[in-house]
A = this chain, B = another copy of it.
Amino acid sequence: MKEDILYHFNLGTSTHDLPATFGDVKFVCVGGSPWRMKSFIEYIAAELALEDPKSEYPNICAGTDRYAMYKVGPVLSVSHGMGIPSISIMLHELIKLLHHAGCTDVTIIRIGTSGGIGLEPGTIVLTKQSVDANFLPKFEQVILGKTVVRSTDLDLGLAEELLQCSKDLSQFETVIGNTMCTMDFYEGQARLDGAFCSYSEKDKQEYLTKAYDAGVCNIEMESSVFAAMCKLSGLRAAVVCVTLLDRLKGDQLTSSHEVLHSYQQRPQILVGHFIKKLMCASAKN
């Protein structure tokens, strides 16, 4: 792996000058929104009793508005924007950063929101495989004009550990299942409320029912390339997304702002519990 500038992170240094402080990273949490990843680092600092009352948890990538990055103890929290290309740029630079910082045994978890299929809104889905729009567990990457197919399996052992954490907490429903990853939020997810729509409510229901029958529990926009790149680089990876609505019943969010906010906290609560549990266990050993 070539040493170079992590251009989109804009850390103002090349990879061989990376601050030694990255060397202790064991957990990386990634999510779409910079605000949410800041909120996550504040939450995890409190959970791990690593809060510094004076600290503002500075954005490590403050030189850019492409991504935001925060760190407390062994936990790194990074935003990735929306969609496969945006998270793919971030992952290339993150994987290089972890490599050059000499990090080992890193667990990486994407926390996010999604549309559920046949699940009560507020359910967390732990992704087993990320599937494409035809429900196949693969990610197609175009390299030099040729399509390369990559596996989108995630770490099933890790998903099961996270499921156990949800049972420990007993605060919300959590399931393990497949996640459909799409290139578009409107037409790509069979929504009727985009700027264009060339299909009927009936076509939409047929498609979503086929997805449900194929084992798709939820739909989001980043899991396939996340699974593929983590697998290629040997990172233990999970996708933890809460469902904000049941797409079989509609396209628009109908829950109140407060309810949606509480749903959005759930992946953070689950992953916070998981990290705390692992750190307590390793402190005892």
Contacts and interface: CB of A to CB of B under 8 A. Distances in A.
Contact of A2 (B1, B85, B192, B233): B192
Copies of this chain, whole number: 2
A81, A135, A144, A221 — most chain B CB neighbours (10 Å):
A144
Contacts of A141: 183-184, 187-188
Nearest to A203: B144
Interface size class of A (residues with CB under 8 A): 35 or more
Contacts of A96: 194-195
A85 B142 contact: no
A89 B33 contact: no
A88 B185 contact: yes
A278 interface: no
A9 to B, nearest CB: 13
A143 B195 contact: no
A257 to B, nearest CB: 10
Interface string A81-101: 111111011011101100100
Interface string A157-189: 000000000000000000000000011111110
A196 B233 contact: yes
A82 B86 contact: yes
Interface string A250-262: 0011000000000
A66 B33 CA distance: 7
Given A7-B252, A33-B65, A65-B34, A142 B99 contact: no
B207 A145 contact: yes
A144 B190 contact: yes
Interface in A1-44: 1-2, 4-5, 7-8, 32-35
A221 B2 contact: no
A285 B229 CA distance: 57
A278 B118 CA distance: 52
A97 B57 CA distance: 36
Contacts of A85: 82-86, 182-185, 188, 221
Interface in A181-229: 182-188, 190, 192-196, 198-199, 203-204, 207, 210, 221, 229
Nearest to A7: B253
Interface in A44-86: 65-66, 81-86
19 contacts: A33-B65, A81-B81, A82-B89, A83-B83, A83-B88, A85-B86, A85-B182, A88-B185, A89-B184, A89-B185, A92-B185, A92-B196, A95-B195, A96-B195, A142-B188, A143-B188, A144-B203, A145-B210, A196-B229
